[in-house]
Amino acid sequence: MSSGVDAVVTEAELKRRLRRWRAGATAVFVVAVMTAGALGHRTTGWKPAAVTGPHLARLRISGVIGADVSRWTKALSKAEKNPAVKGLILDVDSPGGSVTGGEELHDAIEHFAKVKPVVTTMGGVGASAGYMIALPSKRIFAERSTLTGSIGVIMESPDVSGLLGKIGVNVDELVSGPLKGQPSVVKPLSPEGRAMLQGVVGNLFDQFVAMVVTGRHMPEDKVRSLADGRPYTGQQAVALGLIDALGTRDDARNWLAKTCGLSGEPDVVTIGEATRRFSLRRRLIGLFGGAVMSLTGLDPAEFLPQDSERLDGAVSIWKP
């Protein structure tokens, strides 16, 4: 009797081990396939990345622009120094974001544009800081329905002091000066603090206006009349002089190729993309979560994106 029970226990243990081995083998297989796909698929943009002859670079800015734009600025610097790169297509689909990130990216594109021509093509939206970075371009294309413009700066600070008072929570702040604690989430903004922060916003806005004046060759008074924060459709923006033409990405590419003296359909290589290792990690987490990461001995926390899109302080973003 005892031998029969032992046999059943042994068989159950063997089955459990087999299931674990199958799960592990499946995980390894999935990782291998995805790695092969990530390393084998080398196309970036319209043409393969392994282009050595004269070609155009493409920088795609999609989503909210965070404070850290170093990946893009480094890619621009490298492309600027590459003699095979004859021009840049700036592909924008962004509502804006950090004023600092937008300014840094604008300056990097402006530096590139002094050496090689830049054209911007806009997708669904190219507003606020997303419009700011397009300003150094020699020509800006957008769709008729593109939302662009929205020239302005926002600074927000939540105030939960009323809620804290209702639940009997008091917070004391010790500050070195009356404006050091402004703004604060635990007390209302003082008149002096409001005036101070409005001055900061006004100065940042003046800088944005100056970029539009320089980039679009427009009188300052006209720019200020358009810069009340509202977005414009592509069709409206053409009439107002905020962009140059209505057209597609291919229209922008063809215009730049002609400007650069490239005949036929030019090679276009995307620059500044996330690394393939990073993309693979994102796919692993998205598809299988921590289970596969644990089986492969990888730390999920290492694969999460950095908080580069966190927006603190002043922002230039269109928020519908």
Which residues are known catalytic residues?
128, 180
3-class DSSP state of 121? strand
Give the helix ranges, DSSP H, for 139-233. 161-166, 191-216, 220-226
Give the DSSP H or E segment for 85.
strand 85-94
Yes or no: say if 272 and 179 are a contact pair by the CB < 8 Å rule.
no
Yes or no: say if 272 and 62 are a contact pair by the CB < 8 Å rule.
no
Instruction: List the one residue out of 19, 13, 211, 10 whose CA is nearest residue 103.
Output: 211
Peptide bond into 231 cis (omega under 30): no
Sheet of strand 96-98: strand arrangement: 96-98, 314-317, 154-155
Please give the Cα distance from 194 to 84 (Å, whole number): 51
Please give the Cα distance from 109 to 65 (Å, whole number): 15
DSSP calls for 26-84: HHHHHHHHHHHHHHH--EETTEES---SSEEEEEEEES-B-S--HHHHHHHHHHHH-TT
Please give the Cα distance from 138 to 316 (Å, whole number): 23
Contacts of 177 (CB under 8 A, 6+ apart): none
